[in-house]
Every structure is written in C-alpha cells, then in structure tokens.
Chains A and B, each alone.
Chain A
Amino acid sequence: MNYADLFRATLPETALEVAALVVLVVDLGLLRKAALKARLAVAALVGVAGCGAALWAVLLQGTEGLSYQGTGELLLTTGGFTAAAQVGILALTALTLMLLIDANFTRHVGEYVAVVLMAATGGLLIAAAQDLLVIFVGLELLSLGLYILTAFAKRSGKSAEAALKYYLFGGMSAAFLLFGFSYLYGITGSTNLHQILLAVYGWDAFHAAPLLYVSIVLIAAGLGFKVAAVPFYLWAPDTYEGAPAPAAAFIASVSKVASFALLIAISTAALHVFDGAHAHMIARVEIHTYLAPQPIYLGFLIPWSLILTVLSAASMVLGNLAALAQTSVRRLLAYSAIAHAGYILLGLAFFSYSSRSAVAVLYYVLTYGLTTVGAFGVVAVVERATGSDKMDAFLGLHKRNPVLAAVLLVLFLSLAGIPPLVGFWAKFNLFAAVLGVSAGPVAFGLVALAVALSAVSLYYYLQVLKRAYVMQGVDDTPIKAHPVTLAVLVGIAASVVVLGCFPALLTGWIGGFAK
C-alpha cells in the first residue's frame, strides 16, 4: 500500500471530483442570487475546466502508464488504451457540458454538473480497472449518476418514467453482474482480472466449468445492459426519449465509451492469458475427454466470444429493423445505438491478439460517441423550438436553420456509414479487423450481415434527412440556436468530416497508445 502511488494513478479521477465540488460551492454558494443563464455558463465552464485538468492528468501519466497495486494485486492501470479511452471520455463529457449552455430543464445547475462529473469519474475508473471490485464500484458510480441525470427534468413525466425504468433495469443488471462476479471469485479465489483468467485455465476452474459458464453469462448480461445490447436493451428507447437532451447525449456517448473500454480490457486480458496457457489448456482438454466423456472444457475465451457473437448478431438485426418503425428521432437514435453496439460487439467477439482489434473498437466507439453527441445537440435545439422530437418536427429545417440542417446531414450520413465521413472508416476498420482475425464462414457471414444491415440503416436516417431537406415545412420561422451550441455542433460536424477525410489521424493517435 502506497498512497502516493494511489494518488498518482487516480489523478484524473481526483481532478474531476475536485471540479465537482468546486461546481457545487460556486453554484450553491457564490451564485445563489445570479440569473439562470449566468449560473449555467459558469457551471459548464467549471465543468469543462475540470475535464481539461483531468485530461492533462491523463496525458501526464503518459502512454507507458502507471499501475496501482493494492495488497499485492493490481487494482488499476493507466496509460495504453486506457488512456485513449479516458481522453475520449473526458472530451465527450466536456462536449456534453458545453451543450448545456442554454438548457432550461432544471434550476439545479450545480448539482447537474456535479453529477455529470462524478459519473464521468466512474467512467474513468471503469476504463482503468483491473479488479472486479473496482469495476463494480466504477460501474455503480457511473450508473447512479446516469439514473439521476435521466430524472433531472423534474417537471417532465417522461423523464421520471424513463429514470424509473432505467433504474429498475439497471439495478437488476447490476445484481446479475455482481452475482456473476461472486461465482468467479468463488471459483478462482481472486478478484483480480488477470489472476482470475489465469486460474480459469487451471485445474480448479476446470472442475467448476458449469459454474464458470453461468458466471460468464451473468457478466455478459450485466455488461450487455450497459451497452444496450439485445436482449438487455429495453431501457434504451425510453431513456433516450425521456432524459433531458444533454443527459441523453451523455448516456449515449460517455457511458458507451466507458463500458466498451471495459469490454476491451476483459477481452485483451483473456487473450493474453489464453496465449500463455494455450498449449497447456489443449493438453488438459485432450486428457479430459479421454478420461471421462463429459462436455469439453472450453476455457474462458471461447464461451465469451460465443456469447458476444450472439449478442452482436441479435443487436444488429433488432436495432436496425426496429429503428425503421420509429417516428420519434430520439427513439430512432436509441435503436440505432443498439445497432451500432451490435457492430462493435462483433469486433469484440472476434478480437485479435495484436492491438488491431482494440484500435478498431476504440476508433468506432469514440467516433460514434462524438457523432451521437452532435446528433442529440441538434435534436435538443429543434425540440426546444418545436416542442417535439417527432420526425415531423424536422420539417423544413433547411430553411429554418440551414447550418443546423447541414450539421444533421453530416452526422446522420456518418452514422449511416457513407464515405468520406468518419462513420464509414469506423465500420471499415472494424470489419477489416474482424476478417483479419478469422476469415471463416461465421465471421464472414456476420460481416456480410452487418454491411447489409447498414444498407438498411440508410433508409431510416434518410427519413429524417428527407424531412429536413426535401419536404415542405409547415412553419418557416427561423430556429435560433445559442452561438456556443452552434459552434460546438459545427465543430463536431467539421471533425467528423476531417477525421473522415484523413482517417490515419485518429487511428495513428489511438495506435500510439498501444503499449
């Protein structure tokens, strides 16, 4: 135990927590009498500054990274892909805070920003965690924050309903996760990810194979809930619809990045252990099948990949098909998020030993998060002006606010995967990585399915764009957006275009984090 090490390893988290406290003090203490606008601006500014400080702390840790060991076992690592994910989390958090600038859904600005920062802290922890307990603490910190954020529009019935649903489902899935963790601990006697995975290949876990599979299923259920994979997706449409727009953007981006960073960590660890124990395990399997005609012991990696594959295929199909039937843009974004989670899970199911898959998945999640934040930003502005998030609220948007319409065009086409926008490169990278791992019929079939379904997805994205650009509007009064909001949205759209035209920029940057 060394507190100096702990402090250094958790410097970004600490920075965010301090910022959260500062926001509370400033907003509740100093600005009690100030106007809502001023409070929003100050709170958002402090929040963004906190993210900046945390970002600086992450970069300070360097790509080599630090690790913190508790009583002999590794709790946290930084650097590497963890750092890349953390940078993404902080940048996206800052963007969602900037979109807060002209929000009107709450008077409790300080609390809102503080909760956002605490949830982001949870995200940072998850991305860095190497221990089941830290993972769980991080997840709970993030999730509790998200439940509160969803309920923040106190005057809206939808917001309360969404928060309650989210909370109930979330509590259930956390219970599943914890249950799975407890089995894992029971089998292997450790809470450290590496120790567990090592032990899983040993003789002890071998006897407890059924229990191991149960725990893998439970864990996949718990994490599948976080990334809104089918069949654990039911909360997503309601939450995306009911939550205040900046909160929905946060849920759709930051929480996704953190959860996928965790999945990357698990898959990476499983593969690295697998590599070490491979020969060993094969020998065990042979002996075992020879001695007793019991089910073959598959270790951790194969069932893990299998269950991710199933989740992936189900999410792609259901997400894309259900999105076709939506009339609310927020619900459409929710189903499209499920579909995108399906693509990403495919990349995780066929994970490569080299860093290629990790880079591809991170690239996908980060760019997807960026695009979604922008999309929710546009939805928020339109919603404020028209009072609705139905597709018909977007009628004639190109006349009412041409800049906003252009941003929407770029972001939605990117989500559909049209080159040269970044969404296309994300997909291409990911699918190429999958085929790089396995060119067998299963991998190929799933990639073909994913590509075919992204052709389907163009239909529903065009449904929205059609209203914005093609159909006659009923109301041509201009929609005004706050200059800061507009600047953020234009910046996001511009980066989607630039990153798409120069895809090597971001892959190179993420690849630079590979240890």
Chain B
Amino acid sequence: MLALLPKGRPALARWLALAVAVAGLGLAVQGFVAGMGQGRTVIVDLPWVPSMGIHFLLAADGISRVLVLLTGLAAVAGVLFSWNIELRTNEFFAFFLALIGGVYGVFLSFDLFLLFVFYEVAIVPKYFLIAIWGSTRREYAAMKLALYSFVGSAMVLIGLLAAYATAGSHSTGLIELAHAGLPVSFQMWCFPLVFTGFAILAGMWPFHTWAPTGHVAAPTAASMLLAGVVMKLGAYGCLRVGIALFPHGLDPWGFSFAGLGSWRDVFAVLAVVGIVYGALVALAQTDFKFVIGYSSVSHMGFVLLGLMTLNQIGVTGAVLQMFSHGIIAGLLFAIVGRIVYDRTHTRQFAELETMHLSKRLPFAAWAFVIAGMASMGLPGFSGFVAELQVLVGAWKVNPWWVAAAGVGIVVGVAYTWRAMQKAFFSDALPAAHVLEQEQGHPLAAITWPEVTGVALLVGVSLAVGLYPRILLDTIEPAVKALLAGGGQ
C-alpha cells in the first residue's frame, strides 16, 4: 500500500491514493455485508515464526468488521479532504496510506504479536505526517505523540512478553492465549499494564495530553485519522487484548481504597474524569481546533467507560461509539481544518468572530451545525444511540458514573454551541465598508472533494443514527462471544 510515485505528478498521486482508499472501503463494505450474521471468519492464516508459534493470522469478527468499515470511510474522506496538499504530495499520500495499512492490520489481527506489529507500524507515519505537513508547533506535537505512542506500546510489549512467557504455550494467537488459563495474580498486574498502554493511545485521562496538541498540529487528513481511527486503535486494543486476555484483571481486589475496589473502578473513574475534564477544557479554548481536540478526549471517555461496564449493552455501546466518534470527529476536523482554516488562515475565535462566516461560507456553517448536533448526541445521529447505550450499561454498574458523565454531556452541548456561535454566527452586524471589502476578496469556493467528503460522513452518521441495527446486529454477537471468554 505504498505510493512511491514519480515526482512532479501530484494529481496522479491524489487519484491513486483515492483509488486505493476507495478500494479499501469497497473491500470493507463487501466484508461487512458478507459477514453479516456470521461469527469469526479467517482471512489469512500462515505460520510466520514457527519456532515461537507466531502466525500471520488475519480474521474478522463483528467488532473488526465495523471498525474496518470506519477505517475505510475515514481513509476515503481523508484523501478527499487533503486534495489541496501541494507540498511533497507523493510522500504525503505514501505516509497516509502506510498509516491506513497499519490500522487495517490492527483491526484484523487475531495474533497478539501481529497486532502489536501493526500497532507500531502505525506510529512512524503519524510522526512524519504531523512533523512535515502540520501547523502549530508541529515538531513538538509530533515528537510528543510519537513518544507517548511508543511508551504505550512499550508497556504493551512488556505485557505481551510476560503473557507469552507465563502462558508457556507455543502460540501467540489471541484465542489460544485467552484459553491458556493465565494465573489470576498474573492477570491482576498485567491487565493494568497492557490496558494503560493501549489507553494512552485512546486518550485516557491523564495520559491524553498528546491528543489535543497532536490533533491541532496535524494536517487535516491526519487529524481526521488521529481522532477518527488511531484513537480507536487504543480502545480496540483495550478491548481485544486487555479485557479479552486478562478478564480476571478486572476482578475485585478484595479491599477498597478511596472507594475503588478493582482496576475496573479505577479505569471507569479515569474515563469519567476524562469525559468531564475534556468537555470543561474544550469550553475554555480560544482556538477552534483545540475545542475539537478536547472534545475527542471527552468522547473517547465514553468508549472507555463503556468498556469498563463489562456488560453486553455497555460494551456494544462502546464499539458503536468508536464508530460514531470516528465519523463525527473526522467531520468536525475536516470542517475546521480544511474548509475554514485553509481559507481564513486563522482558527482563533477572536478573529473568526469578525469574519461573518455564516454569510461567506454558508456551506461550512451548515455542515458544522449538523456535525455539532451529531457531536452533542442529538437523536437521529449515531452518537446518540452509542452514548445512550454506554450510559445504560454504566447505570447497571454504578449510577454515579452516569451522573458524572451526564455533566459531561451538558458541558458538551455548551462548548459545541459556543464554538458554533463564535465561529459562524456572531451577532455583530458588519459595517457597510467591511462588507464591501469582504466582497472584494471572496473566499475560495467550496470544491467537489469537500462536498463529497462532508456528504459521505454526514450520510453515514445519519444512517447509523436512524437505523442503528445495521451495525448493532454485527457488533452484538461478537461482543457477546468476547465477554463470554475471549472470542469464539
């Protein structure tokens, strides 16, 4: 999946990247449709390192299919929204597609080792995408992101090695390891290690700080991917590896400290803190893109909270929230980064307020209204179904979590509303000469890739919001199987 093309032909690179992304999406849709109602299907199974029992095992269950579909959508939208990249176009799309390839690999790996390899493969392209094509403090943000990711994956690697050595089995297959009967005491300390390692990438508070800076500095397509897909890698790892391999890691400790009686309580509380904290910080930002960046932290908190419910509805909600947030965050970043910033060259609310964007960029304004509603979790959009399920699942476990998360939702409405108003619908009426001046310098017209990308993402979010069964039917059996004991 590498586009090493001749220089000086950016158009070719764009179309090729689009073709690859669309082909990926096509395969994802085909796999999704073909896999409906089926359990786990194995795609490739080849011995890779026979002496250590490592297999090149790609397979898909319901959870994988949904997330692969998300990746396909995000990839297509990402290419569409980076149509205007002029600097080193070939390399940009090469890194972009390498990242996408790594992500597909993680979602499809059913060998712990292979999963880890793909997980790390995704780190390096992120660094270069941000460091070369980024904006605000890009080198700092890129290095921070790369090191956070690598530290997280180092924790995962330690856990992986320990699990492999402890299980004493001759296989690194996820299902074999889940059935290896790892001792409870081992799971107790290995679970938090691996879970935290993955959760760093899922933006769990207090390890989230890479996320806002990274999202803001990244070029539009990369922020879409980071928030839309890469953070899901972390959450997916938490579920597929953390919870599935070390189910006893979540058992009660047998004592309680400050109201926390198990790792489950610890991580659930961190998730709730992330929801509220992310929302509150988003409310105080002056940079449009930081608002979206912190909102991602808040929304990913719902995913982690859903995972920690450990019941059918909560975990299903978490997976659906991964999908939903992937679409919505991608859309928000696309509007802020591509449609608005590339034309106005500022993301500061103070400056945007004076630009009357609702008049000059009506398309952007209305797209943001729709995306904002989706992000707030209004019924009819995918976010509503997902967050509702998470909250219902959490209520069964501990109503206080729900109460706190509810605060996060309310603040979420507030910051979205504030951003919308400040950026697009400021009240001040323009003076006549300002209007004239503005008409003298019209902002560049909206191009077809932007319209297509927005339509694609809004359409998907609406479709899932109005008829959630389309995804739920696929997710539910897989979650059930996973909670019952590490997959089929």
Contacts and interface: CB of A to CB of B under 8 A. Distances in A.
Interface in A439-489: 439, 444, 447-448, 451-452, 454-455, 458-459, 462, 466, 469-471
Interface in B121-173: 121, 123-124, 127-128, 131-132, 139, 142-143, 146-147, 150-151, 153-154, 157-158, 161-162, 164-166
A424 interface: yes
Given A413-B124, A436-B165, A439-B166, A466 B139 contact: yes
Interface in B81-139: 116-117, 120-121, 123-124, 127-128, 131-132, 139
A435 B391 CA distance: 42
Nearest to B7: A402
A421 to B, nearest CB: 10
Interface residues of B, number: 31
B253 interface: no
B284 interface: no
Given A454-B154, A455-B151, A504-B51, A439 B165 contact: yes
A507 interface: yes
B49 interface: yes
B480 to A, nearest CB: 32
B254 interface: no
A455 B152 CA distance: 9
A145 interface: no
Q: What does DSSP make chain A's interface, helix, strand, loop or mixed? A: helix
A419 interface: yes
A435 B128 contact: no
Contact of B139 (A428, A432, A470, A504): A470
B435 interface: no
A59 B101 CA distance: 41
B254 to A, nearest CB: 22
Contacts of A418: 120-121, 123-124
B440 interface: no
A444 B162 contact: yes
A168 B151 CA distance: 40
Contacts of A447: 158, 161
B51 A507 contact: yes
A432 B150 CA distance: 19
Contact of B165 (A432, A452, A462, A466): A432
A462 B144 CA distance: 12
Interface in A484-515: 503-504, 507-508, 511
B52 interface: yes
Given A418-B123, A458-B147, A459-B147, A435 B48 contact: no
Interface in A282-318: none
A455 B158 contact: no
Interface residues of A, number: 31
Contacts of B132: 469-470
A470 B166 CA distance: 42
B104 to A, nearest CB: 15
Contacts of B259: none
A448 B162 CA distance: 10
A435 B127 contact: no
Contacts of A471: 139
Contacts, number: 76
A459 B161 contact: no
A470 B134 CA distance: 10
A511 B120 CA distance: 27
A459 B148 CA distance: 11
Nearest to B165: A435
A511 B51 contact: yes
B74 to A, nearest CB: 23
B154 A452 contact: yes
B442 interface: no
A469 B146 CA distance: 15
Contacts of A448: 158
A439 B154 CA distance: 18
Interface string A403-419: 00000000001000011
A451 B123 contact: no
A420 B102 CA distance: 11
Nearest to B118: A419
A466 B143 CA distance: 9
A376 interface: no
A54 B116 CA distance: 40
B50 interface: yes
Contacts of B127: 462
B121 to A, nearest CB: 6
A504 B154 contact: no
A454 B116 CA distance: 16
B273 to A, nearest CB: 25
B49 A455 contact: no
Contacts of A459: 143, 147
Given A418-B124, A459-B143, A470-B139, A503 B49 contact: yes
B352 to A, nearest CB: 29
Contact of A455 (B116, B139, B154): B154
Given A420-B117, A451-B154, A504-B51, 4 more contacts: A413-B124, A418-B120, A452-B154, A470-B139
9 contacts: A419-B117, A436-B165, A439-B165, A439-B166, A451-B158, A451-B161, A452-B158, A458-B146, A466-B131
Interface of B: 48-52, 116-117, 120-121, 123-124, 127-128, 131-132, 139, 142-143, 146-147, 150-151, 153-154, 157-158, 161-162, 164-166
3 smallest beta-carbon distances between A and B, as pairs:
A435-B165, A419-B117, A455-B154
Interface of A: 413, 418-420, 424, 428-429, 431-432, 435-436, 439, 444, 447-448, 451-452, 454-455, 458-459, 462, 466, 469-471, 503-504, 507-508, 511
